[in-house]
């Protein structure tokens, strides 16, 4: 790099013919009889032949320079290999020309030594966690020294950190165990949430079922009460007792018919031929429950008496 720089200086000194054209973002340092005269800005400039010469030409653009791989030792004595990228530019062409022999190479060497020095202050684990802080510390230290060289370090980025093989294997095992731990935690949390959801669903279903059964009981009780009320009102009207007697007779006969259909064993009264006496007995029970003796001269009674009498006559035969 230094040889190329010297060759460019020699070519620049031989090239001017009384004038020089300075490109944009470029600075040319002019010497007269070997002494600094001025720094030319971009544009067209006249020079005094023989007396003036363009001694240095600097690019004022921000340039990128790779920092080669190097070894460093952390605070906990772990040897690592790392490299980086340096972003810098020349801010003062005069200092860059006369403050140091080769400003670019000087800053690159300073970046390497500063990087090793800052890594020695951190443990191996913090090297990965605090990479941004490490980059800022390197930039700060470089600028403190490079200010006198007319150079400013804009950024420094650590590109790659390579630990030893045994450390790398241990890190992989640790990372795998951490991932397995997170997986187990997520699985257990999911199972826990699923069990909670199932329990809440069962509880809600039980509550809704109980509420439905309660409402059904209330509705059934209300309907039964209403039916009893209507029945009581009907019995109290004219002819109600006769209707009850007819209904009891029908139910009595129907009950015997169902018993014959559903089973082969039947429990029957002693006097099975006297149907009239059985109906009369049922009516007597009904009248005893409602109070008083059963007396009804309604048309229904008139209808039932011949039936009962004929049944009794058949029994006598």
Q: Which domains does the chain have, with CATH numbers?
A: 2-59 (no CATH), 63-163 (3.30.479.30), 241-316 (no CATH)
Q: Are 278 and 249 in contact (CB under 8 A)?
A: no
Asked whether the predicted pLDDT for residue 310 surpasses 50, the reply is: no
Contacts of 96 (CB under 8 A, 6+ apart): 56, 58, 90, 103, 149, 150, 151
Asked whether the predicted pLDDT for residue 288 surpasses 70, the reply is: no
With CA atoms as reference, report the closest residue to 54 among 91, 90, 21, 89. Answer: 21
What are 93-131's pLDDT values in tens digits?
A: 888 888 888 888 888 888 888 888 888 888 887 887 778
Least confident of 77-86, 130-139, 214-223, 281-290: 281-290
Region 142-162 average pLDDT? 87
Statement: the pTM of the whole predicted model exceeds 0.85? no
Reported as half-sphere exposure (CB side, CA atoms, 13 A), residue 117 has a value of 12
Q: Residue 39 pairs with which residues in a beta bridge?
A: 29
Region 13-36 average pLDDT? 79
Asked whether the predicted pLDDT for residue 67 surpasses 80, the reply is: yes
CA dist 16 and 39 (Å) reads: 16
What are 213-253's pLDDT values in tens digits?
A: 999 998 888 888 887 777 777 766 666 666 666 666 667 66
Q: Are 134 and 118 in contact (CB under 8 A)?
A: yes
Contacts of 86 (CB under 8 A, 6+ apart): 64, 65, 66, 67, 107, 108, 111, 153, 155, 156
């Amino acid at each position: 790099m230094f040889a190329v720089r010297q060759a460019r200086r020699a070519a620049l000194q031989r090239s001017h013919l009384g004038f020089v054209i300075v490109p944009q973002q470029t600075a040319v340092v002019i010497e007269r009889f070997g002494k600094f005269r001025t720094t030319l800005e971009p544009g067209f400039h006249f020079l005094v032949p023989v007396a003036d010469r363009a001694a240095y030409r600097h690019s004022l653009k921000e340039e990128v320079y790779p920092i080669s791989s190097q070894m460093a030792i952390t605070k906990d004595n772990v040897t690592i290999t790392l490299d980086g990228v340096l972003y810098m530019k020349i801010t003062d062409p005069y200092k860059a020309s006369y403050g140091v022999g080769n400003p670019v190479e000087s800053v690159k060497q300073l970046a390497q030594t500063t990087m090793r020095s800052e890594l020695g202050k951190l443990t191996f684990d913090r090297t990965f966690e605090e990479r941004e802080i490490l980059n800022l510390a390197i930039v700060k230290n470089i600028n403190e020294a490079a200010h006198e060289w007319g150079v400013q370090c804009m950024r420094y980025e650590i590109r790659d950190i390579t630990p030893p093989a045994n450390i790398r294997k241990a890190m992989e095992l640790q990372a795998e165990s951490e991932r397995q731990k997170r997986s187990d935690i997520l699985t257990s949390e999911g199972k826990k949430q699923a069990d909670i959801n199932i329990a809440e669903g069962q509880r809600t279903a039980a509550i809704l079922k109980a509420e439905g059964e309660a409402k059904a009981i209330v509705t059934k009780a209300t309907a039964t009460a209403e039916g009893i009320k209507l029945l009581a009102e009907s019995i109290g009207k004219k002819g109600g007792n006769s209707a009850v007697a007819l209904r009891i007779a029908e139910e009595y006969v129907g009950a015997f018919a169902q018993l014959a259909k559903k089973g082969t064993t039947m429990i029957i009264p002693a006097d099975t031929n006297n149907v009239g006496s059985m109906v009369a007995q049922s009516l007597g029970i009904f009248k005893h429950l409602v109070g008083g003796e059963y007396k009804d001269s309604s048309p229904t009674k008139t209808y039932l008496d011949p039936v009962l009498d004929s049944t009794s006559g058949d029994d006598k035969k």
